[in-house]
Amino acid sequence: MNDVIVGVIVNTHGLKGTLKVKSFTDFKTIRYQQGATLYIVFRDEKIPVTVDSFRTVKGLDYLDFNEFNDINQCEQYKGCNLVISEDQLHELDDDEYYFDELIGMDVVCDSFTGTVTDVREVPRGELLVVQANGKQHLIPFQKEFVKHVDKDKGIITLIAWEGLL
């Protein structure tokens, strides 16, 4: 079973074992709810941790885990990924997608063809990072620009907008 990265531990906070996390999930309230189990990937080992509390400050998430009550217990985990198992993912609506589903999809629009290499979160939504002809393009992942997403074929069809590409 595959693991899904939901964040990376960027630092500690305070002396009581709080961890600062850069999250890669749109579902923070579900992933970080009290009692939820996450795993810290440390030296090819998955260490289970249970969320005690969660808050967001200046774009970073601050997580307290039941297993840590001192900075010395968790300082070694800086730079480690926080993951969940694939079976912890929940079903999405037809027009919702996990970022890792979009990465690797082909993007087509008239004569333009590229491949999604990343998805970035910005205040107004998400941007698809598309590599094409040796260049990188940022395309808003919004219904005004995206005509159709075919998960089965791995193709994202764009609406032809002047100046988009």
Tokens at residue 101, please?
């589903």
Per-residue pLDDT reduced to its tens digit, 8-62: 999 999 899 999 999 887 778 888 999 999 999 999 899 999 999 999 988 889 9
Tokens at residue 114, please?
């590229």
Average pLDDT estimate for 63-91:
88
All domains of the chain in start order, with CATH: 3-88 (2.40.30.60), 99-158 (2.30.30.240)
The whole-angstrom separation of Cα 6 and Cα 84 is 7
Largest CA distance in the chain: 57
Task: Note the pLDDT of residue 50.
Answer: 95
Span between the terminal Cα atoms of the chain, in Å: 38
Q: What is the pTM of this model?
A: 0.66
The whole-angstrom separation of Cα 158 and Cα 149 is 9
Tell how far CA 126 is from the center of its chain.
11
Per-residue pLDDT reduced to its tens digit, 122-163: 777 788 899 988 889 888 888 888 899 988 898 999 887 776
